[in-house]
């Protein structure tokens, strides 16, 4: 027969209380863990470990999709970045990221592989599907819709996103709606202002020998005039010729 708490010895009662406290703490910890919403970085790091099969399936699907897009566009994705001298200084992977994003987002949404994080929703442990306005911009900028495969999955993704986030009033949502309505217009980058011409300071010209001689003669005249008149008879003929500009 099970004893009542009141019938237990003080030592047995304390044991029961300790056990109950421990169970209560475990319950609270489990409830707290269940309520905790991870950050995007935490999910990004944990996704390959927690979902290795999903990771493999997503990678294979994205690779197949990318290869098909490259085949239909008849060119590689991305482009080399060059400096003014034509030297390659980097590589633009924007096209590759967009193609990868379309594939992973669409497959994840179809499979329901969506995780809530503190910043919103994350698919494939990598992308925020509701922030896909940049995908529309890139599709137009790089001409990706010329690939039939890309265009098909691209519009399927946009329709899925519009349905899922139809109540959002964000810029991304507005861009997606405009694209689906055929009203999206690519905003061209603002042209860089023309550089102001640099004013070259005027450099004084170097006087010729004749000009330097004339300047020296004038300075000498200005110095001699206060002392005596130019018609002074005691001036030597050579000095007279110099002052008259003959020499």
**For 92-139, how does the pLDDT look when each residue is reduced to its tens digit (9 = 90+)?**
788 999 999 999 999 999 999 999 999 999 999 999 999 999 999 999
- Residue 101 CA to residue 93 CA, distance in Å, equals 12
Position 200 scores a pLDDT of 65
Q: How confident is the model at residue 16 (pLDDT cuts 50, 70, 90)?
A: confident
pTM comes to 0.63
- Residue 157 CA to residue 149 CA, distance in Å, equals 12
**Average pLDDT score, the chain:** 82
Highest mean pLDDT among 62-66, 220-224, 227-231: 62-66
8 A C-beta contact, residue 105 and residue 124: yes
Once rounded to an integer, what is the mean pLDDT over residues 41-67? 96
Count CA atoms closer than 13 A to 190's CA, side-chain side.
3
8 A C-beta contact, residue 176 and residue 136: yes
Once rounded to an integer, what is the mean pLDDT over residues 171-176? 94
Single out the residue of 144, 119, 143 nearest to residue 39, CA to CA: 119
Q: How confident is the model at residue 28 (pLDDT cuts 50, 70, 90)?
A: low
pLDDT at 51 over 90: yes
Helix axes 148-164, 133-141, angle to 10 degrees: 160
**For 61-101, how does the pLDDT look when each residue is reduced to its tens digit (9 = 90+)?**
999 999 999 999 999 998 777 777 777 777 778 899 999 99
Position 247 scores a pLDDT of 55
Q: How confident is the model at residue 47 (pLDDT cuts 50, 70, 90)?
A: very high
């Amino acid at each position: 027969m099970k004893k009542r708490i009141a019938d237990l010895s003080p030592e047995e009662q304390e044991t029961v209380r300790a056990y109950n406290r421990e169970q209560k703490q475990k319950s609270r910890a489990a409830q707290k863990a269940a309520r905790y919403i991870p950050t995007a970085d935490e999910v990004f790091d944990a996704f390959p470990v927690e979902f290795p099969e999903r990771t493999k399936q997503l990678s294979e699907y994205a690779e197949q999709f990318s290869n098909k897009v490259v085949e239909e566009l008849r060119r590689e994705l991305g482009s080399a970045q060059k400096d003014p001298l034509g030297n390659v200084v980097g590589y633009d992977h924007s096209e590759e990221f967009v193609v990868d994003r379309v594939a992973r987002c669409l497959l994840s949404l179809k499979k329901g592989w969506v995780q809530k994080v503190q910043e919103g929703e994350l698919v494939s442990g990598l992308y925020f599907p509701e922030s896909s306005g940049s995908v529309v911009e890139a599709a137009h900028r790089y001409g990706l819709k010329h690939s039939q495969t890309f265009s098909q999955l691209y519009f399927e993704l946009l329709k899925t996103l519009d349905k899922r986030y139809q109540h959002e009033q964000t810029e991304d949502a507005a861009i997606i709606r405009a694209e689906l309505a055929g009203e999206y217009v690519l905003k061209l980058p603002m042209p860089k202002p023309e550089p102001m011409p640099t004013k070259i300071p005027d450099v004084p010209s170097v006087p010729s020998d004749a000009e330097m001689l004339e300047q020296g003669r004038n300075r000498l005249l200005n110095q001699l005039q206060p002392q005596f008149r130019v018609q002074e008879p005691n001036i030597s003929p050579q000095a007279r010729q110099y002052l008259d500009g003959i020499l």
